[in-house]
Amino acid sequence: ELYKITLKSVVMNEKIYIMDRRNSVVYDPRKSVWERDFLLNTYWEVGSCVIDNMLYTFGFDCQKSVYRIRVYDPRVRVWSFVKGVENIPMMLKTQGSRMANHGGDLTILLNLDKSGGTEIWCIQVALERRGEHREIWGKVLWSNLVLTLENS
């Protein structure tokens, strides 16, 4: 049973993934089948996006005490970190930030609270699969401050 409020939903591999406050479920409209995905909501955050049937989101790396980019592969139901972009300096905090699929690249709009206001940064990351295990690697193509909002 789904909780009263659906927080997020995405489509990957022709299936609908839905998360409420407690659960994650997957609906396959071709088979009219619902199933639970217990791992999906462990890291899925508001502001996520889908690129090539993979879910990208912000994730806190407890070992390094920083926010990084996580990716979920629904075929094998595994979360991992995107490699190669571990040191994006402004990803100290991600609240209010968003991700988007921009022509197959990952575009991040970071909402950074600064004394006296807020800065909005835009970061474009190219993605590719590498190696025997087909790990996801990213490369920052560009990063710019796009808007500064002063507190009133």
CB-neighbour burial class of residue 133 (10 A; exposed 0-12, middle 13-18, buried 19+): exposed
Residues 70-90, mean pLDDT to the nearest whole number: 87
Asked whether residue 3 carries a pLDDT value surpassing 70, the answer given is no
Residues 85-107, mean pLDDT to the nearest whole number: 82
Asked whether residue 27 carries a pLDDT value surpassing 90, the answer given is yes
How do residues 39-67 score in pLDDT, each as one tens digit?
888 887 778 899 999 999 987 777 877 77
Calculate the average pLDDT of the chain.
Answer: 86
Q: Quick one: which of 8, 4, 72 has its CA closest to 46?
A: 8
Higher-scoring residue by pLDDT: 116, 71: 71
**Are 124 and 141 spatial neighbours (Cβ–Cβ below 8 Å)?**
yes
How do residues 98-139 score in pLDDT, each as one tens digit?
899 999 999 999 888 878 888 898 999 999 998 887 899 999
Residues 65-76, mean pLDDT to the nearest whole number: 87
Asked whether residue 1 carries a pLDDT value surpassing 70, the answer given is no
Asked whether residue 84 carries a pLDDT value surpassing 70, the answer given is yes
Residues 68-96, mean pLDDT to the nearest whole number: 83
Higher-scoring residue by pLDDT: 59, 82: 82
Q: Quick one: which of 7, 42, 37 has its CA closest to 25?
A: 37
**Are 125 and 71 spatial neighbours (Cβ–Cβ below 8 Å)?**
no
How many Cα neighbours within 13 Å face the side chain of 86?
Answer: 9
